Structure 1
Amino acid sequence: MFIQTESTPNPATLKFLPGQTVLDSGTADFTDAESAARSPLAQRIFAIEGVTGVFLGSDFVTVTKADQVHWEHIKPAILGAVMEHFQSGQPALIGEGAAGEGGHADHDGPDSEIVRQIKELLDTRVRPAVAQDGGDITFHGFDRGIVYLHMQGACAGCPSSTLTLKMGIENLLRHYIPEVVEVRPVAA
């Protein structure tokens, strides 16, 4: 098994590509070892000292490290953990509804048509591009023209995430949906 790695815009995050499906649908974001209880793959990676986050996508695993840790010290162990996992035959996630159903928060009410348009633009124009960088962005809410988005994986804590939100996503949404006036990030 050959696992490729790619850098991301976030220097604290690397994208690992095992060359096979990681999740059949959705994504999964783990910010600590305790939250990874339902993922044998994330548990293996969190067992490596210095790992602070694991994000699972369709065909990639994004790993975030602590600032004081250097990639050359933990990258070989992460590669080994990913390889061991796929050789074990275990699933990446265990349990009902293992991966998120698209990851977006539900929204109903008077703005439901606007929210549907926002989610459609995110799914077709934004999320595929963000996945290339090892992350994901999901809809969290819409209130009085302000769209609230949750950034995951390489996007969370990325130095360029504010620029991505303001100059990229906000401009895109405002262009297609006049009711959108601003985009803001939210924590999980």
Structure 2
Amino acid sequence: MPKFRNWLEEWFGIPADEDDNGSPPKRPSSDSGTSGEFHVLRVQPTPNPNAFQFVINAPIVASGTRTFENADDAKGDSFAEALFQIYGVENVYLKESFVTVTKSETVGWHAVFERIGETIEEKIRFYDTSDESQVPHEEPESILDKFHKEDFPNCNEEEKTLIVEAVLDQAIRPALANDGGGLDVLGIEGNIVKVHYQGACGTCPSSTTGTLSYIETFLKDTLHSDLTVLAQ
């Protein structure tokens, strides 16, 4: 597909085919995606040099996220399986209307970029369930409306987890999503908040340094000064 070769040239200086006119793809009409046809509107880099975000013309997940950490996770899902058949693909992350694909450092984007883009357009489908579908989740507004910072140390671990989730939903996750990634709270043990990065954040060099430090500082200031954040 010419547009993926054009984007490849834009980001990496790979010459486009002679018959490519260099024009950006046309924006789909407002009803695109309603008949099951999805298109990649644009691609954009993330802070992780090994991850690119492919923005789709319509929502692909009803709510929440879908993450495929490896080929085993992808078994039984035709879309994810097709992406993991591309040598070098290490992680596939879906949220709202974008797909973030993370590749191995040993494979250059010039070798896989077009095939990844074409596979997304050929195989992408709508997911009406997400990884979080089975997890009870209270609306962040109701949790934080009832929350007082001084009460945090007296909360049990389940309550602390819900509060941390709500704070992350409001202040941290939107920024991570803009960069093609996400953050899953694995649980809280004492003052340790255990998290797992998703999508582009998973192998991003800054995720275990600057980003993690910012999240920890934010939770310390917002909830309790003794909190530490551990990425797993």
Separation in structure 2 between the aligned mates of residue 104 and residue 174 of structure 1, nearest angstrom: 25
The alpha-carbon distance between structure 1 residues 2 and 53, as it changes in their structure 2 partners (threshold 3 A), is closer
Task: Look up the SS of the partner of 2:43 in the other structure.
Answer: strand
Work out which of the two has the higher radius of gyration on C-alpha atoms and give 1 or 2. 2
Find the counterpart in structure 1 of residue 218 from structure 2: 172
Structure 1's consecutive aligned runs of 4 or more residues displaced over 4 angstroms after TM superposition are 102-106
Separation in structure 1 between the aligned mates of residue 204 and residue 96 of structure 2, nearest angstrom: 21
| Aligned partner letter, 2:202 | A
Q: Relative contact order, CA 8 A, sep 6+: which one is greater?
A: 1
| Aligned partner letter, 1:126 | I
1:131 CA drift (Å): 0.6
Task: Look up the SS of the partner of 1:160 in the other structure.
Answer: helix
Find the counterpart in structure 1 of residue 166 from structure 2: 120
1:67 CA drift (Å): 1.2
Find the counterpart in structure 1 of residue 188 from structure 2: 142
Query: Which deviations, in whole Å up to 9, do the C-alpha atoms of 1:50-96 show, x marking residues without a partner?
Result: 2111111111111111112111221111111011124xxx4457xxx
1:179 CA drift (Å): 5.6
Query: Which deviations, in whole Å up to 9, do the C-alpha atoms of 1:103-122 show, x marking residues without a partner?
Result: 9799xx82333322211101
2:109 is aligned with 1:100: no
| Aligned partner letter, 1:143 | E
Separation in structure 1 between the aligned mates of residue 216 and residue 134 of structure 2, nearest angstrom: 19
Separation in structure 2 between the aligned mates of residue 170 and residue 43 of structure 1, nearest angstrom: 35
Separation in structure 2 between the aligned mates of residue 102 and residue 139 of structure 1, nearest angstrom: 15
The alpha-carbon distance between structure 1 residues 142 and 102, as it changes in their structure 2 partners (threshold 3 A), is farther
1:38 CA drift (Å): 3.9
Separation in structure 2 between the aligned mates of residue 24 and residue 92 of structure 1, nearest angstrom: 6
User: TM-score when scaled to structure 2?
Assistant: 0.69
Q: Give the aligned length.
A: 176
1:29 CA drift (Å): 1.4
Separation in structure 2 between the aligned mates of residue 78 and residue 105 of structure 1, nearest angstrom: 34
2:157 to 98, 111, 131: 111
Separation in structure 2 between the aligned mates of residue 66 and residue 112 of structure 1, nearest angstrom: 36
The alpha-carbon distance between structure 1 residues 127 and 102, as it changes in their structure 2 partners (threshold 3 A), is farther
Find the counterpart in structure 2 of residue 25 from structure 1: 63
User: TM-score when scaled to structure 1?
Assistant: 0.84
The alpha-carbon distance between structure 1 residues 129 and 30, as it changes in their structure 2 partners (threshold 3 A), is same
The alpha-carbon distance between structure 1 residues 70 and 20, as it changes in their structure 2 partners (threshold 3 A), is same
| Aligned partner letter, 1:80 | E
**Unaligned residue ranges in structure 1 (runs of 5+):** none
